Amino acid sequence: MSAPAEDGPAPSRRSEYAAQTRTAMVEAARKLFVRDGYADTTVEAIAREARVSPATVYAQAGGKQGLLRSLLLEWSLTGNVPSAPERWAQITDPRAKLAQLIRGTFDVYRTHGDVILIGRRAADSSADASEFVSMTSHLFRELLEEFVGQLRKTGDVAADLDDKRAADHLQFFLRFEQVRLLLADFRWSEEEAQGWLEATLAGAVLRDPGHTTSA
């Protein structure tokens, strides 16, 4: 019996090494951008941390700017973000849908909060970072408007709210700075913060804040 066909050619050792090298550079940049700030991190420092030459950082990663773009793109395209509307659409109970939105937002902040901070802090000295922060803010707003649109279709938006104001409420309470305030400054647990945000936003946005059914 012949061996089963492979899905594609196996990666060469050279391509595997290149991928490992790039990963090492991205991780080194992430560590140093957090510790020293984007403006004060040099390509030479990234190269030392990743154990490669500065020339490799430029050739394979586009230098410091390329590594910043890679980091920012990574967090905006995490699995939780693009597929979020599909997950919300599968939940019929509005309170459970709201809880899912909050959990997903916390997931992104938990895994990529340091990268978000890197982008915000680098925006003053990097046009790439400034542009990307603006783009991701716009993406977040679009996702919230999609969420409100789903609630509107099922008649679950509070009677005195139009869609813009409902999205305003969500954006105000779920923006990164607000969640970081609860967790880092107030030292609330994630469970406490999520529970409070769910109750607060349910009261502000939902037609029937106390309505819950099994999702």
Provide the CATH number for the domain around residue 40.
Answer: 1.10.10.60
Q: Within a domain: residue 189?
A: yes
Q: Are residues 176 and 107 in the same domain?
A: yes
Q: Are residues 198 and 107 in the same domain?
A: yes
Cα distance between residue 10 and residue 29, in whole Å: 29
pLDDT band at 15 (very low <50, low <70, confident <90, very high): confident
Question: Phi then psi for 170, rounded to 5 degrees?
Answer: -60, -45
pLDDT band at 211 (very low <50, low <70, confident <90, very high): low
Which of 70, 95, 111 is a domain's end point?
A: 70
Q: Are residues 113 and 200 in the same domain?
A: yes
pLDDT band at 90 (very low <50, low <70, confident <90, very high): very high
* Residues 6+ away with beta carbon under 8 Å from 44: 54
Q: What does 103-149 look like in DSSP terms, one character per residue?
A: HHHHHHHHHHHHHHHHHHHHTTT-HHHHHHHHHHHHHHHHHHHHHHH
The SS3 assignment for 196 reads helix
Cβ–Cβ < 8 Å for 205, 166: yes
Count of structural domains within the chain: 2
Task: Supply 154's token pair.
Answer: 């099922």
Show the domain range for 155: 77-205
The per-residue pLDDT for 2 is 47
Question: Phi then psi for 12, rounded to 5 degrees?
Answer: -75, 160
- Report whether pLDDT(214) > 90: no
User: Which of residues 6 and 152 earns the better pLDDT score?
Assistant: 152
The per-residue pLDDT for 213 is 43
> What is the dihedral angle through the alpha carbons of 28, 29, 30, 31, rounded to the nearest 10 degrees?
50
pLDDT band at 79 (very low <50, low <70, confident <90, very high): low
The per-residue pLDDT for 158 is 97
CATH code, domain carrying 195 = 1.10.357
Q: Are residues 112 and 139 in the same domain?
A: yes
- Report whether pLDDT(55) > 60: yes
Q: Within a domain: residue 115?
A: yes
Residue 176 CB coordination number (10 Å): 18
Q: Are residues 98 and 188 in the same domain?
A: yes
Residue 67 CB coordination number (10 Å): 27
Cα distance between residue 185 and residue 145, in whole Å: 29
Q: Within a domain: residue 211?
A: no
The per-residue pLDDT for 157 is 97
Cα distance between residue 174 and residue 152, in whole Å: 19
Q: Are residues 30 and 133 in the same domain?
A: no
Q: Are residues 93 and 138 in the same domain?
A: yes
Q: Are residues 66 and 81 in the same domain?
A: no
Q: Within a domain: residue 215?
A: no
Query: Is 0.85 topped by the overall pTM?
Result: no
- Report whether pLDDT(4) > 90: no
Q: Are residues 190 and 118 in the same domain?
A: yes
- Most confident of the following: 15-24, 62-71, 115-124, 174-183: 174-183
Q: Are residues 121 and 160 in the same domain?
A: yes
pLDDT band at 83 (very low <50, low <70, confident <90, very high): confident
Q: Are residues 118 and 63 in the same domain?
A: no
Q: What percentage of residues in the chain have a pLDDT greater than 90?
A: 67
Q: Within a domain: residue 161?
A: yes
Q: Are residues 130 and 26 in the same domain?
A: no
Q: Within a domain: residue 213?
A: no
